[in-house]
Each structure stands twice: as structure tokens, then as C-alpha cells.
Amino acid sequence: MRAVFFDRDNTLTIDEGYCYKVSDFAWMKGAEAALARLHAAQIPVFIVTNQGGIARGLFGEDDMIRFHDHLCDKAQEAGGHITDIAFCPHHPQSPDETMRSCACRKPEAGLFFALAAKWDIDLANSVMIGDRDSDVIAGKRAGCHAYLSDKNSVLDDLVKQIIETHFTTTPSAKV
């Protein structure tokens, strides 16, 4: 299957720095409409997100899971659907040496490969959308088409363009 991958922070949700509290949840401009549009077009949505605050001891995995559950609930209320979320808990500045390096922290592509294996995703015909160069690099390393989202623009406008460009035609054959 083809899919759209989103970064979470400052792509779908507003992030003022290590956002993990449900009370701090807020959508980026056009995110709700973008998720609803993708759901209506039957395009699966996945989130790939670095959550280094876990490794740095700023919040726990349970806090992040609560935030993600809330995000998924809010996406459904908006008419969208998030199929799955993959996260990297590592950070190079972690006080725990075992949490410093990995193959999943973007710009590495490990999160994409894990989701692709779990959900049988055709990465070559899928799209990554993120707000940082590391998101685009990770998407390209995974073999996806990748787009940089401008935080001052409306996410749904970009999603309209992506659907037209990548999801209204038959997927390209793998060589």
C-alpha cells in the first residue's frame, strides 16, 4: 500500500519544545483538514517522530503515549485517521549512554522501515511530510518522496498537491 508519513511536531501539531502534555495539544494550520482529506481519499496516514525528551528524562513514554492517544482521538474527531505512530526515544545528549545512538532517530530511516515491514507499505510510492531537513532526509533514505512543510503555510494545501501528484495515478512499478 501507498501511504503518507508525517512528522509530528510543528508539522501536524504545534510544538513549543518537548510537547507531551495533552493540555498543550494544538493543531498546525490546516492539519485537521489535511488528515480528513487523506482519510476521504483512503490514503493511510502514519506518524514518524523523534521523541528525544524520553532519553533526556524530560518526560516518560507513558506521557508520550497519552499524547499520541489524544492526537489520534482528535484526528478522528476531525474526520481523519492515523493508522500507526512510530517514535524514536533516543537522543545524542541522553545521560544514559544506551539511549544516545540508534538507527531510528531521523534523519535515519529506521522508523519507516519498521512501519513498512509491519504494514506492507510501498515506500517508493509513499510520501513523507516534515518541517525539518532531517525529516526530508529520512524520507528520502527510506525511498519515499519527501516534502518540507512550511510552518507558515496551510498543511492542507500541501496535502492537496501531494494527492494530485502521487495518489491519482497508478503506482510506479518497482525495478
**Buried/exposed 124-146: b ≥16 CB within 10 Å, e otherwise:** ebbbbbbbbeebbbbbebbbbbb
Residue of 9, 15, 131, 135 with catalytic role: 9
Residue of 7, 131, 135, 156 with catalytic role: 7
Q: Give SS3 for 145.
A: strand
* Amino acid symbol at 138: A
Residue 73 annotated to the active site: no
**Chain-centre distance of CA 157, in angstroms?**
17
List, edge to edge, every strand of the sheet that includes 45-50. 84-88, 45-50, 4-6, 127-130, 145-148
Residue 122 annotated to the active site: no
End-to-end CA distance of the chain: 17
| Strand runs labelled E in 26-107 | 45-50, 84-88
Angle formed by the axes of helices 31-40 and 61-77, nearest 10°: 70
Active site residues: 7, 9
